[in-house]
Amino acid sequence: MEACRSQMLKCSGGFVLVHAGAGYHSESKAKEYKHVCKRACQRAVDQLRAGALAMEAVTAALVELEDSPFTNAGMGSNLNLSGEIECDASIMDGKSLHFGAVGAISGIKNPVLVANCLLIEAQKGKLSAGRIPPCFLVGRGAHDWAVSHGIPPCPSENMATKFSLSAYKRNKRKMELAEKMDAGQNQTKKRRQSSENENGSGCLDTVGAVVIDSEGNVAAAVSSGGLAMKHPGRVGQAAHYGCGCWAENSFNMNSYSTAVSTSGCGEHLIRTMLARECSAAMQSEDAHQALLEAMQNKFISSPFLASEDRVLGGVIVLRCCRNVEAQPSSNVQSAMVEFLWSHTTESMCVGYMSALDSKAKTHISRLPPGTVPGQSLAIEGGVCRLMGVLD
């Protein structure tokens, strides 16, 4: 199933597309989700207008998304089985192709800052004695590395919100009740399915962003608190290479620069490497058709997920044509930027903004009525012209 719309936008100096997760966004909280997407877009555009590159802008957007108590990233993240917060995040630079990530990290308010710092440090080259710098750290090691590189710690209890704490207590009671009940295998299966319906698609609100700057560089980032009641130490797609985000400037055989950020069930996204798959698909001429086919063939109908009844996830995608067109009688050059989002979950909240816009536009995309989450998909997007891009 598909729902599609397109808009034409003016754009100069850069463009940002963000998401506040693919899952379920109730009408009662729609205003809060849209508001945080607007703020994230504004933060990124402020950086672009000041001359920042895509990496700085995408990091600024993620920090804003992580700081919101309404998103499952950074502040207000889901609690694990032990009642603790463990976060995942990653970032990728399309220009250098460097990648930085953290998994199951506790006590850091903005995990994306650690991922970004890892990427920056790796770009400096080898460590003493010829050691290879890390690009992906987890757990206590990631926390200690972050603190040693100037990122302030934040007690995990200060990152929990009233909403995340109440959700943890509610889920814990459900689990304890289910464990006490012993009404046979069929009842156990029904309870498990009920738990998945109640805690599955509604808790997949990973956040992310993709950015293109005035020089045509792209960057992507993603951050998540993970599934509610996850096992301690579990690392989701937000930290895995090729699964949570992907960014690649045009070069050699690639005619398009592409940036992707994903959201959804981490295990589904990891087993399909959806971010990288969508990026590769974007080299086709028709971006909309390419993303539609990638979501259908590489995700919903993926042989790697053949045993799954519902395949839950979403992506935001940005691509820019490498071959810019010179304007008549002018030194100004331009390139066409296409931006899309697609999801198999009930809904996905997105926001987008160019450096020329006075404010961001936001939208909660929903599956068409009567369709089944995890078996159907929605796809929407738009086009803008980016001025001043030099190849």
Residue 60's contacts (CB-CB under 8 Å, 6 or more residues apart) are: 43, 44, 46, 47, 52
Distance CA 377, CA 389 (A): 33
Long-range contacts of 197-200 (CB under 8 A, 24+ apart): 198/174, 199/171, 199/227, 199/228, 199/229, 200/265, 200/310, 200/312
- Using the CB atoms, write b or e for 318-333: b if 16+ within 10 Å: bbbbbebeeeeeeeeb
Strands 8-12 and 378-387: parallel
Specify whether the CB–CB gap between 282 and 258 falls below 8 A: yes
Residue 339's contacts (CB-CB under 8 Å, 6 or more residues apart) are: 15, 17, 210, 316, 317, 318, 319, 352, 381, 382, 383, 384
Identity of residue 370: G
Identity of residue 361: K
Distance CA 222, CA 275 (A): 11
Q: DSSP H helical segments within 328-373, as ranges?
A: none
Query: What string of DSSP letters covers 37-55?
Result: HHHHHHHHHHHHHTT--HH
φ, ψ at 387 (rounded to 5°): -95, 150
Distance CA 238, CA 90 (A): 6
Residues belonging to the active site: 206
